[in-house]
C-alpha cells in the first residue's frame, strides 16, 4: 500500500502531539496527582485550614501545568521538528515500510517499531517511548484505511512504553 505525498497541517499536528503527551503514563499519573492536590487544597481552603495565598499558589501550579502540556509543549515540538515541514510518501508492505521525501528515502523493518496509536487525524508509529512518526490518515484513500489499521495490528507487536 502506498500513500500519496502528504504534508502536515500545523493545527492537526499540534492536536496529535497533545494526544501523544496525554497518552504517556507518567503524564497521566502527574496530572491525576496534580488534580488531587488541587482538590485537596480547595477543600482545605474551604474549611479555612490553609491561607488564600497557599490556595492561590496551588491553583496557579495547576493552571501552569495544564497550559504547558496543552499549549506550549506541542507548539515547541512542532517548531523544533523539521519533518513537519516536509512532504512525505509512505509505502507499507509485508516486510517493512518506507518513508520517502525529497531528500532521502528510509526503510524500516516492522520490528523496529515498539507500538502504535491512532488519534483522530493520525497514526502514531513509535520506535521507542520518545521517538515516533506521525502518519496523517489523509495520506491514504478511505477504502484502504481499514487495511492500514489491520497491517499495523498484525505487524507492530505492542509493547509498553
Q: Which three cell numbers stand for residue 46?
A: 474551604
In terms of domains, do 33 and 62 share one?
A: yes
Q: What is the pLDDT of residues 31-77, one digit of tens each?
A: 899 999 999 999 999 999 999 998 998 889 889 988 998 899 999 99
Instruction: Lay out the sheet containing 115-118: strands in order across.
Output: 115-118, 122-126, 132-136
Does residue 62 form part of some domain? yes
In terms of domains, do 66 and 25 share one?
A: yes
Does residue 3 form part of some domain? no
In terms of domains, do 66 and 92 share one?
A: no
Does residue 69 form part of some domain? yes
Q: How many residues does the chain have?
A: 161
Chain-centroid distance of CA 56 in Å reads 31
Does residue 160 form part of some domain? no
Q: Give me the number of domains the chain comprises.
A: 2
Instruction: Band the pLDDT of 159: cuts 50, 70, 90.
Output: low
In terms of domains, do 105 and 127 share one?
A: yes
In terms of domains, do 119 and 65 share one?
A: no
Largest CA distance in the chain: 64
Q: How many whole angstroms separate alpha carbon 131 and alpha carbon 121?
A: 19
- The domain containing residue 111 runs over which residues? 83-155
Q: What is the pLDDT of residues 130-150, one digit of tens each?
A: 899 999 999 988 788 889 999
Does residue 15 form part of some domain? yes
In terms of domains, do 101 and 141 share one?
A: yes
In terms of domains, do 96 and 32 share one?
A: no
Amino acid at each position: 500500500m502506498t500513500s500519496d505525498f502528504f504534508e502536515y497541517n500545523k493545527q492537526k499536528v499540534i492536536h496529535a502531539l497533545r494526544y501523544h503527551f496525554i497518552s504517556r503514563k507518567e503524564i497521566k499519573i502527574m496530572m491525576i496527582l496534580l488534580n488531587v492536590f488541587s482538590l485537596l487544597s480547595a477543600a482545605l481552603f474551604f474549611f479555612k485550614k490553609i491561607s488564600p495565598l497557599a490556595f492561590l499558589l496551588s491553583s496557579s501550579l495547576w493552571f501552569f501545568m495544564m497550559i504547558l502540556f496543552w499549549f506550549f509543549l506541542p507548539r515547541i515540538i512542532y517548531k523544533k521538528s523539521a519533518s513537519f515541514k516536509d512532504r512525505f510518501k509512505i509505502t507499507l508492505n509485508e516486510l517493512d515500510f518506507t518513508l520517502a521525501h525529497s531528500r532521502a528515502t528510509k526503510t524500516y523493518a516492522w520490528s523496529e517499531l515498539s507500538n502504535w496509536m491512532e488519534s483522530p487525524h493520525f497514526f502514531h508509529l513509535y520506535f521507542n517511548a520518545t521517538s515516533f512518526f506521525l502518519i496523517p490518515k489523509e495520506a491514504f484513500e478511505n477504502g484502504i484505511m481499514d487495511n492500514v489499521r489491520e497491517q499495523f495490528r498484525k505487524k507492530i507487536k505492542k509493547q509498553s512504553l
